[in-house]
Structure 1
Amino acid sequence: MDDWLNLHAARIAASARQDLAALVAVSSPSGDSAAADRVIDLVVDRLPDGAVIERPACSTPHHARDLIARISGTGRARIVLVGHVDTVIAHDEHAPLAADPGDPDRLVGSGSVDMKGGDVLALGVLHALAARPDDIAEATLLLVTDEEWRLGEFAHGPRFAGYDACLCFEAGELDAAGDDGVVVRRKAAGTIRVTAAGRSAHSGTSPDDGRNALLALAATAQAIAACHDPHGPDRVTAVPTVMHCGGAFNVVPAAGELICDVRADRLSAFAAVLAAVPAEVGGATLTAQNLRHWPGMDHRESMAPILADAGARLGSPITAGSRGGASDASHFAAVVPLCVDGLGPLGGLAHAPGEYVLASSLERRARVALAVADAVIAAVDAGRGTPAD
């Protein structure tokens, strides 16, 4: 299938920059339904002929509906291509796509690498799979509108049970040798919220009559940070990130909130972090809960032969990597036998000013994604990696 790979990689590259500019031109911070709909309309305008479109409810209430675009064929393979259209940068800080004057290969724009660049490549791969109706049963593009801030359960896992593979297009990477890398392992993620209930008092005349919520939360932050063990058996990271407490310089604060980001190889590892939160500090009571239960992903074993075959088709190695960041690929890891992420373009500074995609990587990473898709189809046809009956 070298001709198929070369042809469609070139086609993706020919339109990718223009398509990326169109998507990035729309500022779409998570939660803005109208903006998300505008991005999805742009994607719908670029879908292959014959795509069947659905707009199912988003996992998060009050968000725009997600997009499912499905191509059907007479073959065996069922592949879902996953991305998201929501971003992090606020409207007043949004930057449309533009080449960096100091480095024309660097295309700078809000949401370019996380993950509208990946959306563009996923769309291109859908077109390529649509050209192989004899080899696919279904090729489906899923674009969600709430990935960046979702706390609740993911709605779409059961919908794709029975699929052979999930290809997710978060940002790509190179390994230390400069070979293309993908992600087959991700940590589970949690968001721990701790509330403190104390008692206010005048901090000058009667400070000891108060029960200081700020001190209680500070002690809790230290207790959670002490659980940080990135080289331990579960590779736990525990990072206090936000604290709100107090409203006046001369009042003992009576209430407050602490937010901590936790990651680990297993969701069950978060129980020890929650257990580290004291029930009371200095008379202020503390209550903790994990707001987010984002599963981990480990497809090193299942993807090893696929990546070896894909590398042979590509003519260069594809390295299996690991990341701590959360991705919707993790939600498919338990229901789809082959799961790979990090198929998007190369770039950097995600969630920050100056976020960029490398223009030269668009065709390179399209080739990687196409090679992986081709290897999945071959494995399914050979009876490897298919769902159990």
Structure 2
Amino acid sequence: MDVHSKENEMLVLLEKLVNIDSGSYYKKGVDQVGKELIPFFIELGYDIQKVKQHDLGDHVIIQHPERKQSSILIVAHMDTVFEEGTANDRPFSIKDGRAFGPGVIDMKASLVTVIYALRYLKESGSSAYKDVEIILNSDEEIGSLTSREIIEKEAIGKSYALIMEPARRDGSLVTERRGSGRFTIEVHGKAAHSGIEPEKGRSAIEELAHKIVKLHELNDHEHGVSVNVGIIEGGDAVNTVSAMAIGHIDVRVSTPEQAEEMEHKIEEVCASSDVSGTEIELTGDMRRPPMLKNKKIEDLFNIVKKVGEDLGIEIKDTKTGGGSDASFTSAMGIPTIDGLGPIGGNAHSSKEYLVISSLTERTLLLAKVIERLMNDKYEKTN
């Protein structure tokens, strides 16, 4: 099989996937993406297990029946950040060597490359495709709330984890990520007319404002810690002392120690009120541990780099502040590489794009990496 000759075929599948709305909270659409993908894996001889979800899309676990314990775990997500109707408003399109559309690079192009990489291995006579387990999860964009447990369970005993987030704009893979957390502060005050009897009110917005200032004082960018209250809600009318205010907090850290420390500090900030008569409710936690570049990850990256050299591709690595499922497998001590998808940019925006030439290039890279890892494993055990 010549992967490069399959570009048009791959683009046809990609167009179909991009034109399906599959925002994390749109179960019908995410399940439809899974429905489109499953037949390809069945055709390759894999067994399919659906992990049903009530409100979110079903997760899909894919394994070959000849391997009770595969060596490689591949993780790719089917959900996007876009609301229902986005695909209709700006469907899949191609212009100047780039493909556009909601989720085209994060990460529907990666879903296509996984299928064609495994197809390439099978059709070229390599049994390496059998030694792979694939998880297609439905909630990565909202922190893998229900799929984390599945990923960590299936990762036990694996020799490697390959995470299919897109490559960076310059083609770099990801070997290091910051950990992340999400918290919500809900402040309850007492409403009153701000003109007639303001003294009877207890402003939830004023209390939230105090908390926002204190939370932002926790920032330590020099050491890789960032705290951002990115969304606030509150108030019923401009002439009413607010009875309710809500703040949504994003936290990023660089080390496990920082993650634990930030949880304690946020709890301390919210432990007492600055505005008398208001009450505070804090929910949330640190959702993803940081992915730290250790020797295992560096060794795996060097294998990928060598495979790239054999294909005439210069492979570089980088670190990023964004989160992914790579954090879970790397925290378990499993050699993990992220960013193995195609090249693109502007993810989560209306200008999201895929560099079309990278679709087949990164498909072949993925296939050859899988094959190389299996060959190395065979040589070590013989």
TM-score by length of 1: 0.86
Aligned ranges 1:277-356 → 2 under 5 Å: 277=270, 279-283=272-276, 284-291=278-285, 293-315=287-309, 316-335=313-332, 337-356=334-353
Match of 2:48 in 1: 53
Q: How many residues of Structure 1 are paired with residues of Structure 2 in the alignment?
A: 367
What is the alpha-carbon distance in structure 2 between the residues aligned to residue 93 and residue 74 of structure 1? 40
Query: Which amino acid is 1:108 matched to?
Result: F
Query: Which amino acid is 1:302 matched to?
Result: K
Report the identity percentage. 23
**2:12 aligned to which of 9, 15, 18:** 18
Q: What is the deviation of 1:366? A: 2.1
Q: What is the deviation of 1:281? A: 1.6
Aligned ranges 1:230-249 → 2 under 5 Å: 230-232=221-223, 235-249=224-238
Contact between 2:191 and 2:243, CA under 8 Å: does it hold in 1?
Answer: yes
Q: What is the deviation of 1:9? A: 4.1
What is the alpha-carbon distance in structure 1 between the residues aligned to residue 300 and residue 371 of structure 2? 9
Alignment RMSD (CA, Å): 2.4
Q: What is the deviation of 1:129? A: 4.2
Q: Choose 365-374 or 35-44, whichever is displaced more.
A: 365-374
Q: Choose 83-92 or 366-375, whichever is displaced more.
A: 366-375
Aligned ranges 1:262-273 → 2 under 5 Å: 262-265=251-254, 266=256, 267-271=259-263, 272-273=265-266
For each residue in 1:74-133, what CA deviation from the matched residue of structure 2 results, as whole angstroms up to 9, or x when unmatched?
Answer: 799611211111111112332221013xxx212111110111011111222232444555
What is the alpha-carbon distance in structure 2 between the residues aligned to residue 190 and residue 74 of structure 1? 36
Asked if 1:124 corresponds to 2:108, the answer is no
Q: What is the deviation of 1:62? A: 1.9
Match of 1:85 in 2: 78
SS at 2:98 equivalent:
strand
Question: Would the alpha carbon gap of residues 226 and 34 (structure 1) be closer, same or farther in structure 2, given more than 3 Å must change?
Answer: same
Contact between 2:296 and 2:335, CA under 8 Å: does it hold in 1?
Answer: yes
What is the alpha-carbon distance in structure 2 between the residues aligned to residue 279 and residue 359 of structure 1? 54
Aligned ranges 1:29-44 → 2 under 5 Å: 29-44=23-38
Question: Would the alpha carbon gap of residues 366 and 149 (structure 1) be closer, same or farther in structure 2, given more than 3 Å must change?
Answer: same
Contact between 2:70 and 2:133, CA under 8 Å: does it hold in 1?
Answer: no
SS at 2:288 equivalent:
coil
Query: Which amino acid is 1:243 matched to?
Result: I
Match of 1:192 in 2: 183
What is the alpha-carbon distance in structure 2 between the residues aligned to residue 92 and residue 135 of structure 1? 40
Question: Would the alpha carbon gap of residues 368 and 135 (structure 1) be closer, same or farther in structure 2, given more than 3 Å must change?
Answer: closer
Contact between 1:72 and 1:136, CA under 8 Å: does it hold in 2?
Answer: no
Q: What is the deviation of 1:241? A: 0.9
Question: Would the alpha carbon gap of residues 151 and 19 (structure 1) be closer, same or farther in structure 2, given more than 3 Å must change?
Answer: closer
Structure 2: gaps (5+ residues): none
SS at 1:247 equivalent:
coil
**2:103 aligned to which of 111, 114, 130:** 111
For each residue in 1:37-87, what CA deviation from the matched residue of structure 2 results, as whole angstroms up to 9, or x when unmatched?
Answer: 2111111122242111111234xx422321122225579961121111111
Q: What is the deviation of 1:288? A: 2.1
Match of 1:387 in 2: none
Match of 2:164 in 1: 169
SS at 1:231 equivalent:
helix
Query: Which amino acid is 2:217 matched to?
Result: A
SS at 1:363 equivalent:
helix
SS at 2:307 equivalent:
helix
Structure 1: gaps (5+ residues): 1-6, 385-389
For each residue in 1:257-287, what CA deviation from the matched residue of structure 2 results, as whole angstroms up to 9, or x when unmatched?
Answer: 1111111122313222333335102212323
